[in-house]
Structure 1
């Protein structure tokens, strides 16, 4: 692990992960953390992990962004004390909570996304991973949060957790190894901090307006697999229904 990204979700983590990939780093964002380290990270959320276990988990990756790795940034830093830390946050907690609520609203309103999570084996496993890392550990929210109406979100708890997380980073992260990065500043401070050349292509901007759900469904290898599983589920249901009808007619 070369770079520890400590910013919470909805602070530009998708943009940062894409930027680091452009710079040539291997990055585990949410999808890769689930597919490559899902069981180990669930153990970290529910039981805790030792420094040696975190070192083994992230030994072969350059960086990790978003949940649940950002939650464990201190533990990961203990495992990789030579790593650099990049921290992102919004201009204000109120700006952050608006973006956070918009993301939750888009997820709940996307019928295909919710069906995929409910009816496929990998989708249900991803949902388990999500509510253990995002709801319970990340934001101190109840397990059934994703099934609740968006108007019932208690924003006080996520805002409290957000402030606590950011304050902790500012308090104990080593100043000489930490970049408090603003995405609007673009490549220059990021590349200077990492001591790498500035790319010729423009600085990216991902997940604008909470559109990451649509991007997952269109581009994600994980969600292509989940959609293929749904086709199998639907096919089995149709076949069983047809067999049932034929038996009734006989």
Structure 2
């Protein structure tokens, strides 16, 4: 078993896929929605859904994250508190950006994706986004938390994780333009 050493608490569309690639380059194996969507490894989406629907039940987090030393994006974001309880020595990275840049039609949060009225309510989604970021910053000890702006690059990340700064550019994937292109191709 490899316990989670890094838990990324930033919402989707806040650079989580770029962070996944950066963490993998730094030697971590990062769980991300990308991994689940591409059915990489022994993924069990139903177990994550069950954990979300029944927070009172015991969850075998080691099994759900078997083989991963870091986790980012969904479904991880829904489980920050229990994951921090299970892995108290993990470092937490909160990726942030201006909510106006990314929120509507992209963020999945606490059932909002399944509730079209809530999901399309820009004010409600922005409030969820800001409340989440505030909660993370208020509950995670400062020495275990890095608040990282989208596009910030390697320096503070590597310093926070005690890793040397790579001599390659910080990854930049899954941009708004990339998403728009993918939507056009699907149509």
TM-score bracket, shorter-length normalisation:
0.7 to 0.9
The unaligned stretches of length 5 or more in structure 1 are 105-133, 219-250
Q: TM-score, normalised by structure 1?
A: 0.62
The unaligned stretches of length 5 or more in structure 2 are none
Contact 1:30–1:67 (8 Å) recurs in 2:
yes
Cα deviation 1:29-59 (Å, max 9, x = unaligned): 1032453131111111222265652233224
| Greater C-alpha Rg | 1
Cα deviation 1:46-99 (Å, max 9, x = unaligned): 222656522332242111111120121111111111111111111xxxx32442
More strand by share: 2
> Does 2:134 match 1:167?
yes
Q: How does 1:1-250 map to 2 (within 5 A)?
A: 1-33=4-36, 35=39, 36-48=43-55, 50=57, 52-90=59-97, 95-101=98-104, 103=106, 134=108, 138-141=109-112, 143=114, 145=116, 153-209=120-176, 211-212=178-179
Size of the aligned set, in residue pairs, is 178
Contact 1:140–1:161 (8 Å) recurs in 2:
no
Cα deviation 1:72-130 (Å, max 9, x = unaligned): 1111111111111111111xxxx3244233648xxxxxxxxxxxxxxxxxxxxxxxxxx
Superposition CA RMSD, Å: 2.8
SS in 1 for 2:93: strand
Separation (CA, whole Å) in 1 of partners of 2:160 and 2:88: 16
Question: Relative to structure 1, is the Cα distance of residues 204 and 142 closer, same or farther in structure 2, using a 3 angstrom cutoff?
Answer: closer
